[in-house]
Amino acid sequence: MKKNVKLQSFITIGMLSSISFLLMLFNFPIPPFPAFLEVDFSDMPALIAAITMGPVAGILVELFKNVLDWIFSGTPTGVPVGHIANFTTGILFILPVSFIFNRFKTTAGLVGGLATGTVVMAVGMSVLNYVVFLPMYTYFLGMEPVVGDSLYKMIVAGILPFNIVKGILLTAIMAFLFTTMRKWIDRQRSMYIAK
C-alpha cells in the first residue's frame, strides 16, 4: 500500500510540475511596475502540492517547473539567474503557507498562511534582489551595475510592491480554489500526510 502511495505521489508531483511549467509560459507585466517583473500563476500547483503532500512536494514542483522552463526557454544571461530567483520566490511563498495551514487546517489558517507567505516573499525577495539577484543580472548581461539610490528605489518602488500585488493575486485565487476543492484537498491530505 505504501509503495502505491509513493508512486502516486511521484506521478502527482510530475503532473503538477508540468501544469506549473505551462502556467509559467503565460506571464504578463503589471503596469506601472518595471517590464522585467512579470506575474504568472505557476506557484498555484506548487501550493496545492505543499498543502496536500507537504512542503517537500511543493519545493519539488517549484524546482521541476524552473528546470523545465530553463531547458525549453533558455535564459538571456546564459546563467539561470531568473530561474533561481523564481525558484526562491516560490519557496519563500509556499513554505509559510504549508507550515501554517498544516498547523491550523482551516480556511482561516490557509488565509493566514497566504498573508504570511506574501510578506515573507515580498521582504525576502527585496533583500535578495538588493544583495544577490540584481547584481548577478547586471554582471552576466554585461550591463552597468545599478547601485546606490537607483537600486534602493528599484527595490522599494518596484520589486517590493510588485511582490505584494503578486501575493494578493495568488491569495485570492488560492482561497477560491480551496473553497471549491476542499473535499478533494482533504482526501489528498489524508492519503499523503501522516496523522
Per-residue model confidence as pLDDT tens digits over 25-80: 998 888 888 787 889 999 999 999 999 999 999 999 999 999 999 999 888 777 88
pLDDT (0 to 100) of residue 149: 80
- Between CA 148 and CA 32 the distance in angstroms is 22
pLDDT(171) > 60: yes
* Cβ-based neighbour number of residue 24 at 10 Å: 21
Average pLDDT over residues 174-195: 86
The tally of domains found in the chain comes to 1
158-164-167-168 Cα dihedral, nearest 10 degrees: -120
Are 83 and 66 a contacting pair, CB within 8 Å?
Answer: yes
Spatial CB neighbours of 186, under 8 Å, sequence gap ≥ 6: none
**What value does the mean pLDDT of the chain take?**
90
Give the pLDDT band (50/70/90) at residue 3. low
Place of cell 522552463: 69
Are 12 and 53 a contacting pair, CB within 8 Å?
Answer: yes
The residue segments making up the domain with residue 165 are: 3-191
pLDDT (0 to 100) of residue 34: 79
Tell me the chain's radius of gyration from C-alpha atoms.
17
Average pLDDT over residues 135-140: 83
Are 24 and 69 a contacting pair, CB within 8 Å?
Answer: yes
Residue 155: all three cell numbers together:
527595490
Q: SS3 for the chain, per residue?
A: CHHHHHHHHHHHHHHHHHHHHHHHHCCEECCCCCCCCEECCCHHHHHHHHHHHCHHHHHHHHHHHHHHHHHHHCCCCCCCHHHHHHHHHHHHHHHHHHHHHHHHCCHHHHHHHHHHHHHHHHHHHHHHHHHHHHHHHHHHCCCCCCCHHHHHHHHHHHHHHHHHHHHHHHHHHHHHHHHHHHHHHHHHHHHHCCC
pLDDT(195) > 50: no
Spatial CB neighbours of 162, under 8 Å, sequence gap ≥ 6: 30, 33, 34, 37
pLDDT(118) > 90: yes
Q: What is the CATH number of the domain that holds 153?
A: 1.10.1760.20
AA letter at 55 = P
